[in-house]
Amino acid sequence: MTSLPPHILVVDDAVTNRLVLKRMLEAQGHRVSTANDGAAALKLIEAQPFDLVLLDVMMPVMDGFEVLAILRERPDWHKLPVVVISALNDTTSVVRCVSLGATDYLFKPVNQTLLKARVEASLVRKRAQDAEYATLLALEAAQRAKNEYVSLISHELNTPITAIRGYTDLLLKHLRPQLTPPQVQSLEAISALSKLMGELLHDLSDLSRIEAGFLQLEPSIVFLTTVVETARLAVQSLIATKGQHFAVTLEPELPPLWADRVRVVQLLTNLLSNASKYTPPGGKITIGARQLNAATVEVSVSDTGIGIHAEDQPRIFERFFRANNPLARSERGTGLGLHIARLLVEAHGGKITFTSQLGVGTTFTFTLPLEQRDVARPQPGPHAALVRDD
Ligand code: ATP
Ligand code: MG
């Protein structure tokens, strides 16, 4: 495939200048169009793509400064290279043009060699930028395709796995008296493993949706006490089995959050289940919260658990990362919980950090937005109100 030579727009109110520049550029192998003032130039740029604009600064109808300002404001035009041409030694205009975003400049009368060098340099830069942009678009498309694929596969696998678990539980329920202990153990293992697989598939599909930008937060007024209680219920049996103590120390009279209730519960559940999993029996888990400023609340989940080795700390939010600590490895997990937690906090415009000491404990701290009474918020519709009842 042969590509067309670069298309250059020459903008100058003097007909002789236009003709001279056109001839010089055509001699250098470029395609050239011309315009006699700024307004005509913008019309042409609107109608067809150009690779570069040679722009006279002083023109009667719309001068070069105005054209530059308009080009740099429009997202689809702001990367178009513009070489300005000004009167000899009018450095003030040149400085102004450069600050407005001109790529390069030339003085009149235009020297052919200099013109060639400046135009070529700007075109090379533009080609590099275009190639970088195309790579970025291709990467984004590949990422989207991967996420859609993961979503599809997890969804398809989820149905048979749910069925396997259902039938296993049914067998255990009805046949237990007739089964030998090793048979019961095998069925229990199938049930537990299919549950784990279901959880992993759920996390994977959730993650791919979040990463593909499909996470649509449905914010509403949310009371922290309510979401903390829901998350506590979700991990209650885990905490009870290990005989751990659970405490909530929320600052009194905390204003409500402006957040997605379901996602905040998910975030708290991830942190609480970690706190319980990575804390020995009898340990203590605490949820605290305090108002940082008029717009932000800070929530913390602390435990008196095994802690995270300093070496592992920089990688703790990475996808699929699990610490090497054998105490941590003895717990079931896929290494997605914290990665998802961070994505959820960031989707709310917050930040999540942690401090940890090996053998002493860990505290995760994150921020969430408070409801702003004086800011008009879109009200959830009647359907949302039915689904999300705080
Ligand atoms: P899952 O995806 O099921 O949550 P996971 O718990 O292994 O699996 P993350 O929640 O992402 O994954 O946690 C990553 C790793 O960080 C864990 O494997 C564990 O080693 C370490 N970790 C997380 N929370 C704590 C904690 N409170 N105390 C000590 N280590 C922790
Ligand atoms: Mg976890």
How far apart CA 234 and CA 272 sit, in angstroms, is: 9
Residue 339 CA, closest ligand 1 atom number = 11
Q: What local confidence, expressed as pLDDT, does residue 105 receive?
A: 92
User: Beta strand pairing status for 220-222 and 257-259?
Assistant: antiparallel
The mean pLDDT value of the chain amounts to: 90
Residue 317 CB less than 6 A away from ligand 1: no
> pLDDT tens across 68-116, in order?
999 999 888 888 999 999 987 788 888 899 899 999 999 989 999 999 9
Q: What local confidence, expressed as pLDDT, does residue 193 receive?
A: 87
State the helix-helix crossing angle for 112-175 and 15-27, rounded to 10 degrees.
70
Q: What local confidence, expressed as pLDDT, does residue 273 receive?
A: 95
Which position has the higher pLDDT, 382 or 165? 165
Nearest ligand for residue 275 CA: 1
Q: What local confidence, expressed as pLDDT, does residue 180 receive?
A: 96
Q: What local confidence, expressed as pLDDT, does residue 390 receive?
A: 31
Average pLDDT of the segment spanning 111-137? 92
> pLDDT tens across 146-172, in order?
888 888 888 889 889 999 999 999 999
Instruction: Give burial (CB, 10 Å; 0-12/13-18/19+) of 137.
Output: exposed
CB 336 within 8 A of CB 316: no
Residue 328 CB less than 6 A away from ligand 1: yes
Q: Which of 322, 332, 356 to mutate to test the pocket of ligand 1 (most atoms within 8 A of CB)?
A: 322
Residue 365 CB less than 6 A away from ligand 1: no
Q: What local confidence, expressed as pLDDT, does residue 380 receive?
A: 45
Q: What local confidence, expressed as pLDDT, does residue 196 receive?
A: 81
Res 214 pLDDT > 90: no
Nearest ligand for residue 323 CA: 1
Among 35-39, 240-244, 341-345, 375-379, which is the least confidently predicted range? 375-379
Q: What local confidence, expressed as pLDDT, does residue 163 receive?
A: 93
> pLDDT tens across 177-204, in order?
999 999 999 999 899 889 888 888 888 8
The share of the chain scoring above pLDDT 70, in percent, equals 95
Considering the entire predicted model, what is its pTM? 0.63
